[in-house]
Structure 1
Amino acid sequence: MIAWEAAALGLLTWASIRQFDLIGHGVRAITGVLAVVWVIGAWRILQHGVYVSSHGLLIRGLVRSRTMYWRDIAAVHLHRSTHKLGWWELQDDMTVLIERHDGATINTELWAQGVDFHARPKLFRAVYQEIRSRHQSAAGSS
């Protein structure tokens, strides 16, 4: 996986240098900028996920993070997403959705076919059940 990313980064750097006819400092600048973007993206991917605490959930995505307190969460449930392609409806896999008291839904980074759960469907269900039980116990203690 890293080899593909490094190759793509190298190709993007080479194409940028050629496109803009960069030389000297321009080459070093574009190489440095793209390397920094790659490192930041890799760091965000490593931090990606849903973190559970006694106070609520921290949902870290690629671009942003959000904290959801248990008191703000109305329900936690599984959602099977579908995508329409013309007349066809394609079934996607299960994700965990958070429903807030104001009716808004928050998509988590938990996906049954994701890297963490693809070969371990029981673990996906266990994580989902843990989030639900934490929410229910927090709602019961309020």
Structure 2
Amino acid sequence: MIGWELVALAILGSATENLFRLAGTAFLALAIGFGVVWVVGAFRIMRMGVYVSGYGVRVRGLFRTQTLAWQDVEHIRLHQASHRLGRFEIPSGMTVLIERRDGGHVQTPLWAQGIDFHRRPGLFRSVYQDLRDRHALARLAPA
């Protein structure tokens, strides 16, 4: 996986170098910039997920982290996600969606076809059920 990413970065760097005719310090700055973006992105991807505690649920995405107290969560449900491409709608599989009491929702990175669950559908259902159980337990607890 890392090899493919490094090859893609090398191709992007080479194309950028040729397009803008970069040399010396400019090319070094480009390489360092690509490296920093790659490391920061890899770190954020590594930390992506849904984290639960007695207080609530924290959803870490690639660009944003949201923390919701259990009392702010109305419902946790499965959602059939899809993407639109012009007039076409492309189904992308089941994800976990958190509905907030204020009517909004939070999309989680829990995706049935994702790398964590692709070949283990039972694990996806188990994680989803555990999240629902913790929400139900928190709703029963005195405030």
Q: Same fold (TM over 0.5)?
A: yes
Consecutive unaligned residues in structure 1, runs of 5 or more: none
Q: Distance in 2 between the 1:110 and 1:9 partners?
A: 27
Residue 25 to residue 104, structure 1, CA distance change in 2 (3 Å): same
In structure 2, the partner of 1:94 is 94
Deviation at 1:105?
Answer: 1.2
In structure 2, the partner of 1:139 is 139
Deviation at 1:81?
Answer: 2.2
Backbone CA RMSD of aligned residues? 1.6
- Corresponding residue SS for 1:119: coil
TM-score, scaled to structure 2: 0.92
Deviation at 1:89?
Answer: 5.0
In structure 1, the partner of 2:105 is 105
Alignment of 1:63-102 (within 5 A): 63-83=63-83, 89-102=89-102
Residue 10 to residue 68, structure 1, CA distance change in 2 (3 Å): same
In structure 2, the partner of 1:19 is 19
Q: Distance in 1 between the 2:69 and 2:76 partners?
A: 12
* 1:6-50 per-position Cα deviation (integer Å, ceiling 9, x unaligned): 011001111111122111111111110111000111111111111
Q: Distance in 2 between the 1:32 and 1:86 partners?
A: 37
Q: Distance in 2 between the 1:66 and 1:88 partners?
A: 31
Residue 64 to residue 140, structure 1, CA distance change in 2 (3 Å): same
Aligned partner letter, 2:66 = R
- Residue 121 of structure 2 corresponds to residue 121 of structure 1: yes
Residue 90 to residue 17, structure 1, CA distance change in 2 (3 Å): closer
- Corresponding residue SS for 1:106: strand
Consecutive unaligned residues in structure 2, runs of 5 or more: none
Which stretches of structure 1, 4 residues or more, deviate above 6 A after TM superposition?
A: none
